[in-house]
Amino acid sequence: MTTPKNTGFEAQPYYGICTFGRQPHTRDLTGVDVAVVGVPYDGSTSYRSGARFGPRAIREQSLLLWGYNNALDVAPFKAQKVIDYGDVDVVPPDIVATHTAIHDEVSSLVKEGVKVITLGGAHSIALPLLRAHSHKYGRLAVIHFDAHPDTWDTEFGEQKYSHGTPFRRAIEEKLIDTSAYIQIGIRGPTSGKKDYEDAIALGARMITIDDAMRMGLGGILGEIRSRVQNKPVYLTFDIDSIDPAFAPGTGTPEVGGFSSYQILQLLRGLKGLNLVGFDLVEVSPPFDHSNITSILASNIVFEFLSLLAVNKQPV
């Protein structure tokens, strides 16, 4: 992308073409540290569709990110080379073809050593993303923010691939190091007692929202660090881990979740972990209002970028 002429004024949030954080939209990976990639797929949603517009809305609101992270003392767009890679070409009526497209596109980035931050899309996309990262890094520690365990065996009858099943599939495919798999924010009615039991039996350390409120931020972060240690970590973030008051624009909202302040504190507490990949999923703009969900989502991605940038800085 040719850089626009700068007439001497700084770019304001209402100005210009919407790439993530105004970073260049390119597929040239030369020197690239981090690529933001969109996956506009919502075909696996069990309630409210619309997450296909998640990447677009998050990009749009990301123009409000002024660039410097005071809490982490880092300027993530300056400390590293970030690009907006654009979107994966998904196939709405065919989840298997979609998974292949995601895997192939993202693998081509991961294997070049580019760190990928994926903007969903429904949570089903985590499976091909974990595959792509596991090829490079082996079994992954996984920090999983969510209201739901997403470890069902099937959904919609006998469907193996859907937004309620990706982490069971990933465990079956040995993509996840279950000793370092932690779920945070789980809550809400489930289809039965077995939903939690199954997740735990599969190896997840489940921190429900009640656990989280009891443990406090320090307790949660301690638990994360003790499990994850210095292993390569994939961070998968379902926006519905946050309360619908703060993040209404999502597909299967669950009341009684985290506030945005709590989430920012938790994310900043991950500083120094060996983070190798990220996704942020289930932002559904048609159910958002005044963009508060996509503004929050763009800030979460900004924290992801900052965590990567902090790791890159000399000690």
Binders of its own copies in range 55-94 (CB under 8 A): 56, 59-60, 64-71, 73, 75, 84, 86-94
Asked if 107 is part of the footprint of its own copies (rule: CB under 8 A), the reply reads: no
- Dist CA 81 CA 76 (whole Å): 9
- Dist CA 36 CA 137 (whole Å): 19
CB of 65 to its own copies, least distance (A): 5
Asked if 49 is part of the footprint of its own copies (rule: CB under 8 A), the reply reads: yes
- Residue 121 preceded by cis peptide, ω within 30: yes
| Binders of its own copies in range 180-199 (CB under 8 A) | 187-193, 195-196
Query: Of residues 146, 238, 240, 288, which one binds its own copies by CB under 8 A?
Result: 288
Whole-Å CA distances, 81 to 78, 234, 242: 7, 20, 30
Closer to its own copies at the Cβ: 18 or 224?
18
Query: What is the arrangement of strands in the sheet containing 140-145, beginning at the earlier edge strand?
Result: 82-87, 34-38, 115-119, 275-281, 233-238, 140-145, 176-186, 205-208
Cα 32 to the center of its chain, rounded Å: 20
- Dist CA 278 CA 272 (whole Å): 15
Instruction: Give the number of other CB atoms < 10 A from CB of residue 200.
Output: 14
Asked if 118 is part of the footprint of its own copies (rule: CB under 8 A), the reply reads: no
Asked if 18 is part of the footprint of its own copies (rule: CB under 8 A), the reply reads: yes
CB of 204 to its own copies, least distance (A): 15
Closer to its own copies at the Cβ: 167 or 287?
287
| Binders of its own copies in range 219-278 (CB under 8 A) | 243-246, 248-249, 252-253, 255-257, 259-261, 264
Asked if 151 is part of the footprint of its own copies (rule: CB under 8 A), the reply reads: no
Asked if 218 is part of the footprint of its own copies (rule: CB under 8 A), the reply reads: no
Choices 49-57, 125-133, 219-227, 271-279; region in contact with its own copies by CB under 8 A: 49-57
Torsion of CA 190, 299, 292, 184, to 10 degrees: 10
- Dist CA 177 CA 233 (whole Å): 10
Closer to its own copies at the Cβ: 40 or 232?
40
- Dist CA 10 CA 101 (whole Å): 38
Choices 19-27, 111-119, 230-238, 271-279; region in contact with its own copies by CB under 8 A: 19-27
Asked if 157 is part of the footprint of its own copies (rule: CB under 8 A), the reply reads: yes
Asked if 2 is part of the footprint of its own copies (rule: CB under 8 A), the reply reads: yes
310: CB partners within 8 A, 6+ apart: 72, 74, 271, 272
CB of 28 to its own copies, least distance (A): 5
